[in-house]
A and B are shown apart, each in its own frame.
Chain A
Amino acid sequence: MPAPAAVPPPENAVVRWIEERLPIFGFVKHHLRDYPTPRNLNYLWNFGSIAGVMLVVMIVTGVLLAMQYTANVNMAFDSVERIMRDVNYGWLLRYLHMNGGSFFFIAVYIHLFRGLYYGSYKAPREILWWLGLIILLLMMATAFMGYVLPWGQMSYWAATVITNLFSAIPWVGDSIVTWLWGGFSVDNPTLNRFYALHYLLPFVIFAVVFVHLWALHTVKSNNPLGVEPKGKQDTIPFHPYYTAKDFFGFGMFFIVYLGVVFFAPNLFSEPDNYIQANPMVTPPHIVPEWYFLPYYAILRSIPDKLLGVIAMFGSILVLFVLPWLDRSPIKSGRFRPIFKQLFWLFVVDCVVLGWVGKNSPDAILRISDTVGVPFLVIGRIATAYYFGHLLVLLPLIAAIEKPKPLPDSISAASGGKG
């Protein structure tokens, strides 16, 4: 991180002794207290810090669970149930971790769509945006491997389906899949390596989050107006203003999160995952966790396996070039009448993709007794819109849209109010 501005030497001798050797107090003051933050951030800006807290919750509960879990195909399922039954507060740890994954994704998805709406990916925040996407990809890998660990039916078959995607790679696909499995099917070696990686990746995420914050503190936070702060009158110190606001946000988020943990702990999970993995029995519908459903719908809407896999990964990868697809100099959707409408259409499209992913592709949405639309068709239209929005509409809107006039500055827009 950039060297903190010169701070007067601390009065306390011990603090001064440390500060001269490692300027940790200056660092904390610079980054957690003085960090100049736009005065007009709304509550959507809470979700970054909420995601950070969820990462810590996941690591802490995960390490405690790891002390009780056994990564062996014959014991994994029972060891999770033993945690639920015989470990003191094991049920709490397990439900916190299991639902924590879902709530981590909820926070991150809101954080991401907030960035999409307010143009937080635009210059000078492209690298900040990329780092966020890298965190998302790492989270997806971590979540997928974590889902395999309880070794239920969905664990096993999700692992089989997802690892099999790599067989679509020409020539070397099958060899790669065998290499990933450590054998000729998903089995004990697969479970062991997934466990090792599931333990490793969160710490990689932690490191990338740190770099994400480094980039953030270099380019500073975007804000709902998308107008960069022009001076001291536009910013307020992070502490006490945003610390106070963030803590209120944590409280609200935890009310919902813990409400689910204590009163509907299996809300997000598939009943089939309480059946021990059985390679001889395929569940009638293999569905991933909810946060993967839109990608799953994209995968299945493309008739060719390789192209489907490319489209699925492409749906995230395309976001890396978003700063150059959307060339409008206006950041905030507030001042972009056409963009704003289509943004909400895009959000609806992502929800529709998730809904399609939840249903079997040959299922039919009945509109009346005689009329029905196959989910496959809905999925294809939604997939086309997903890529069409990002690759065609965004560049087009930027070219033709007449934005509303921007305020001169943050303080001018709020009339001196926060």
Chain B
Amino acid sequence: MRGQRILTLAVLGAALFARAAAAADDLPRWSFDGVFGSYDRAAAKRGFQVYHDVCSACHSLNLVYYRNLQQIGFTEDEVKAFAAEKQVNDGPNDQGEMYQRPGRPSDHIVPPFANEQQARMANNGALPPDLSVITKARKGGPDYIYSVLTGFVDAPEGVKVPDGMFYNTAFPGHAIAMPPPLVDGAVTFADGTNATVPQMAADVVVFLNWAAEPELEARKKLGVQVLIFLVLLTAMLYAVKRKVWSALH
């Protein structure tokens, strides 16, 4: 009876695992998946370059500070240079006036638009979402973002896509307001990697997942330690229980 139950559970588990493995066929394998997952620094840096050169024209990244970029391997000077590209409103100064100054590492990444209205005005009425937690905010997470970025194709025959919209295989409803953002060679990677659409999409997903879960590496590292400790502790607690109860049995 018990053996049967364990067998059923094992079969169910195997089936689920097989399904997950099958679904991942044409998707990249993410370096941050799994118990020991971590961010591929080179991919994350390339991904930032994709965000910087392409996405940031429309999408904000409000929850990330420039200084955070050092986490994925940019040097302090590189971070200062990224921040200084943008002007930030500051003030008031001694004369009581607001002024513009170049960005600093302690600033949030400067958004492309001042407010929602301006963003909609510039984007045909659509609002490009903030990307800070985008991989956590969509069903399917990183796989979904990758699929949207690589999912732009010509609409199948008979499907009418509204004006100003684009056909996308992954987007719910298939009509997306975002024009295909990536074309081969859109970015010239500093490390010489060939900038194909799948390459750029995979890299920017690594970067965006880091933006959404900057704690991931610390979390998994601590998790392994905590679970090893807990398993040992629980085994000892079981031994204690057996010992205490042996007087009764």
Contact = CB atoms under 8 A, between A and B. Distances in A.
A13 interface: no
Q: Tell me the interface secondary structure of chain B in the complex.
A: helix
Given A262-B220, A275-B129, 5 more contacts: A91-B215, A241-B248, A245-B245, A251-B230, A274-B136
Contact of B227 (A247, A262, A271): A262
B234 A81 contact: no
Contact of B244 (A91, A240, A252): A240
Interface string B225-249: 0110011011001101100110011
Given A255-B231, A274-B133, A248 B245 contact: no
Interface of B: 35, 63, 129, 132-133, 136-139, 141, 172, 212, 214-215, 218-220, 222-224, 226-227, 230-231, 233-234, 237-238, 240-241, 244-245, 248-249
Interface string A263-280: 101100001101100000
A259 B215 contact: no
A110 interface: no
Interface residues of A, number: 34
A266 B136 contact: yes
B237 A244 contact: yes
B214 A272 contact: no
A39 interface: yes
Contact of A263 (B35, B212, B245): B35
A261 B222 CA distance: 11
A244 B215 contact: no
A12 to B, nearest CB: 27
A140 interface: no
Nearest to B130: A276
26 contacts: A81-B63, A85-B215, A92-B219, A244-B245, A245-B245, A247-B237, A247-B241, A248-B234, A254-B234, A255-B231, A255-B234, A258-B223, A258-B226, A259-B227, A262-B220, A262-B222, A262-B224, A263-B35, A265-B219, A271-B136, A271-B137, A271-B139, A274-B133, A275-B129, A417-B249, A418-B249
Contacts of B241: 244-245, 247-248
A417 B248 contact: yes
A250 B238 CA distance: 11
A258 B234 CA distance: 13
A271 B219 contact: no
B248 A236 contact: yes
Contacts of A92: 219, 222
Given A84-B215, A271-B141, A417-B248, A262 B226 contact: yes
